[in-house]
Amino acid sequence: MEISQLVQYLDAPDEATSWLKSLGLEDIERGHHSLVAMAKTGMTLDLLGVVCDQLEQHLSRLSDPDMALNNLDRYVAASRNPLALGSLFDRDKESLPALLQIFSTSQYLSDSLISDPESFDLLRLTEGHPVAREILVGEICSEVDSLADSAAIMKALRRYKQRETLRIAYGDLIRKQIVEVVTRQISYLADAICEAAWRSARQTLESQRGIPQRSDGQRARCAVLALGKLGGVELNYSTDIDLVILYDDDGKTNGDRHI
């Protein structure tokens, strides 16, 4: 889009009405507000013109153009460097269409990206490719094992879940992976977070109460079983997980404050 045309649209909402309607927008006033807001973030007019050209090409094809543009406005505002973001959209012609697809499909995923704009860089690196269960378990357990504070551990678990869910959704929505791959990846992520949470809880309690021992003095064994969709490796984005925790014998811990 020519800069003179863009300036006209920014300064005169009525002039932009027909163009905004051509993008598939229904809330024209809100759409114009999003355009003006992005112009005020520090993104240059020539780069905003590039964004507008891509909006012309992709926005009307989406399931919810209004939702996509509103989330794009919020994402640009949350970015540490809107100028660099605009340069990325200019340089990598797949970046903005991928974002718009997510922004028009899921508000939860959109909010996750907006709250952590740098996570999109990780998405572009991984391209949503599936990750082996052992790698996911190793990554999050390694991070959690290095933390002592329970609040920091919970924060790490939430951050990991959010970023990995975005990776899985990218493979789902953008790379069009089959449903079996997506549900398996979500299940592996749940496995990894449960493993890390279990190890953290066990280490905390053992430091306070001692190691659980059976009546014969041997260390008590424990297992966490997954039922339902997680047990069948068929978890979806919103399914709760059903867990059963088993131990193999009665006994007590060997610490001074035993239980």
pLDDT 10s digits, 143-173: 999 998 899 999 999 999 999 999 999 999 8
Compute the average pLDDT of residues 117-141.
92
pLDDT score of 136: 97
Which among 115, 148, 165 is the end of a domain? 115
**Rounded CA gap, 98 and 100, in Å?**
5
Predicted confidence (pLDDT) per residue in 215-255, tens digit:
899 999 999 999 999 999 999 998 899 999 998 888 999 99
Q: Kindly report the length of the chain.
A: 259
Amino acid at residue number 25: L
pTM of structure: 0.82
Query: What does the pLDDT look like over 69-93, one tens digit per residue?
Result: 999 999 999 999 999 999 999 999 9
Q: Which domain holds residue 87?
A: 3-115
Q: Which residue has the tokens 């009405």?
A: 17
CATH number at residue 211: 3.30.460.10
- Same domain for 140 and 240: yes
Q: Rounded to the nearest 5 degrees, what angle is found at the Cα of 112, between the Cα atoms of 101 and 71?
A: 50
Residues 75 and 153 in one domain: no
Q: Establish if 120 belongs to a structural domain.
A: no
Position 127 in a domain: no
The residue among 192, 197, 170, 195 whose CA lies nearest residue 181 is: 170
> Is the residue at 149 inside a domain?
yes
Residue 1 has pLDDT above 90, yes or no: no
140 pLDDT more than 90: yes
> What mean pLDDT, rounded, does the chain reach?
93
Whether 83 and 153 share a structural domain: no
> What pLDDT was estimated at residue 241?
94
Domain count, the chain: 2
pLDDT at 17: 95
Question: pLDDT band at 117, cuts 50/70/90?
Answer: confident
Assigned domain for 125 exists: no
DSSP-assigned states of every residue in 38-82: HHTTT--HHHHHHHHHHHHHHGGGSS-HHHHHHHHHHHHHH-S-H
What is the arithmetic mean of pLDDT over 136-145?
A: 95
Domain-embedded: residue 103: yes
Do 40 and 77 lie in a common domain?
yes
Determine the Cα–Cα distance for residues 230 and 188; give it in Å rounded to an integer. Answer: 9
Same domain assignment for residues 109 and 218? no
193 occurs within a structural domain: yes
Q: Which CB contacts under 8 angstroms, 24+ apart, belong to 152-158?
A: 153/200, 157/193, 157/196, 157/197
Same domain, 91 and 150: no
